Amino acid sequence: MFEVINKKKAQLDAARPLPKYTLKSLREKLFLEWTYNSNAIEGNTLTMNETKVVLEGITIGGKTLREHLEVINHRDAISYVEEIVQMKESLSEWQIKNLHRLVLKGIHDEYAGIYRKEQVFISGATHIPPAHYLIQEKMEQMMNWYRNEGSYLHPVERGAMLHAIFVGIHPFIDGNGRTSRLLLNLEVMKEGFPPVIIKVENRLAYYEALDKAHTTENYSDFIALVEREVEDSLDLYLSTIS
């Protein structure tokens, strides 16, 4: 299933370490695209270039404070993901809450890092997330899966499944999508893969694959979608060494 990306990852590993400035520019490019696309999926109207300018500390006229904060917060959340990867820390609920706290900082401080206390619905989806009083139990089940069955999976499959299970639980009032994509990347980056960019133009296929996973427990479409995006990121890295 993962033959192509395994082969490309092996090619990349063989070429490491990449030149310092090549690596720096790749990182900046992917982190900008990650921030832009992840926010755009959720309805943020800043363009790629506007996102870049906000990351440089400049305010865009006619855009909301929330849209600016979503960019800054996402950058800080990526830095936290990098920190966890460098420290080789194993995933915990505490880390997930910290990630979410960064995502919602200054936007919904009262909900940041706190499991929801009410029912929510995912617009456009058939799947209905569990009742709020089941969230703690569902999150514990997810972490048990992650530590047991999940540990035997290919990192891309594990990351995709973690993303899908988490967003199906929808443990927070807001910011679940961004947090789920941060968790996906946390998993693949731990194993030396470049960040996965779920592109906004693939939003419909992404939502449909997630809803299929949640309603039928068939994750194959979603895993395949993530695998294609991983290959795109690997191709970008490999283009610098060919």
Active site residues: 170
- Cα–Cα distances (Å) from 49 to 55, 153, 154, 181, in that order, read 10, 37, 35, 21
Environment class of 48 (CB within 10 Å of its CB; exposed 0-12, middle 13-18, buried 19+): middle
CA dihedral sign of residues 10, 1, 88, 100: positive
Cβ neighbors of 21 (< 8 A, separation 6 or more) are: none
Q: Which residues of 118-132 are buried (b: 16+ CB within 10 A; e: fewer)?
A: eebebeebebebeeb
Q: How many CB atoms lie within 10 A of CB 37?
A: 22
State the residue for tokens 């990121």.
Answer: 233
The CA distances from residue 144 to 139, 140, 171, 180, in Å, are 9, 6, 16, 17
